[in-house]
Structure 1
Amino acid sequence: MPNTRPAAPETDLNFLLSWASHALATEQTAGLADLGITPRAHCVLYKALEGDHTQRELADMCGLDKTTMVVTMDELEQAGLAERRPSATDRRARIIHVTAKGLKVVAAANKIVEGIQDDVLSSLPARQREAFTGALVTLVNDRLASLVPCERPPRRPSAK
């Protein structure tokens, strides 16, 4: 595989995290293509299995805006992988339910995603792997847990 990574300073945290995210998302997109889903769709299906969540809750859990979530759910419903069901507690809300076909796709997708992540992390020695993932979890749950107010926030890249 040719190196398509542009040169950047080794200490440019934004570039390093952005490139790593883009490269991983691209590899996962390619890996999931045969299943007919994207990493975004996989996230929605995977998180929907955790319990009865509304479309809005799942959008928040997957870091999706409202429009992207609607498009993603439309695609999942058309493919027969998920469906919107009325909420028992809020007639305006819809609970996302994963279908039997969706369960099979999620199981296959989980294996693909886990394999890619294991392969990527295997390029690091075990100690570095644990430190790296632990540090990312700490950053995301602490200092980078919420977005600062910004007049023109950057768009998140699509996983499709």
Structure 2
Amino acid sequence: MTTPADTQAIAERQLCGLVNGLAQRIAEHVRERAATLGLTASQATALREMSGPMTMRELAERMSCEPSNTTFVVDKLEKQGLVERHPHPTDRRAKHLVLTAEGAALRERLLGLLVVDSPLSGLTPQDQRVLHGLLARAITGS
């Protein structure tokens, strides 16, 4: 006999499997698109997240990784002439990461590639808003 707890556990396992599967498809999509531009997935993720000047810590949070890993990625982007480190306007201990003109242009190309055949492109804009709301609630617990 299946108990309510068993039913709940099965439902959560299935949902976790779907979320994990989607995350894997998105990661593969990013890897494929990044490779066409000569970037690693981590570099592409950093460029995607750099919507304006930000600190290394802010970028690490957006990339969901440790600042030390972000430093490695940014070092590579800096060597490629895509990112520069500028003095932070209010914190002399921090640096602001800023896209160069070349970095901004490459980011725009990347953003265009990421929406083509995206794992989420089969969802309507309304479906995407609903999914966004549900995932945000699941993450925040509210």
TM-score by length of 1: 0.70
Give a deviation string over 1:50-83, Cα, whole Å, max 9, x none: 3x31111121122222122111111111111101
2:135 corresponds, among 118, 123, 140, to 140
- Aligned-residue offset at 1:143: 2.7
- 1:48 and 2:44 aligned: no
5+ residue gaps, structure 1, are 1-8, 147-160
What CA distance in whole angstroms lies between the structure 2 residues aligned with 1:48 and 1:23? 22
Does the 8 A contact of 2:48 with 2:110 survive in 1? no
Report percent identity of matched pairs.
Answer: 26
Moved over 3 A (4+): 120-124
Figure out how many residues of one structure are paired with residues of the other and give that number: 131
Does the 8 A contact of 1:139 with 1:145 survive in 2? no
TM-score by length of 2: 0.78
Partner residue in 2 for 1:155 = none
Tell me: CA distance 1:140–1:92, structure 2 relative to 1, closer, same or farther (3 Å): farther
Which of the pair is proportionally richer in helix? 2
* Equivalences for residues 32-111 of structure 1 within 5 A: 32-50=34-52, 52-111=53-112
What CA distance in whole angstroms lies between the structure 2 residues aligned with 1:38 and 1:116? 19
Secondary structure in 2 aligned to 1:142? helix
Partner residue in 2 for 1:16 = 18
Give a deviation string over 1:101-156, Cα, whole Å, max 9, x none: 11121111011001132xx34545x4xx632x22331133223137xxxxxxxxxx
5+ residue gaps, structure 2, are 1-9
Aligned residues: CA RMSD = 2.3
Secondary structure in 2 aligned to 1:116? coil
Does the 8 A contact of 1:28 with 1:116 survive in 2? no
1:130 corresponds, among 118, 126, 142, to 126
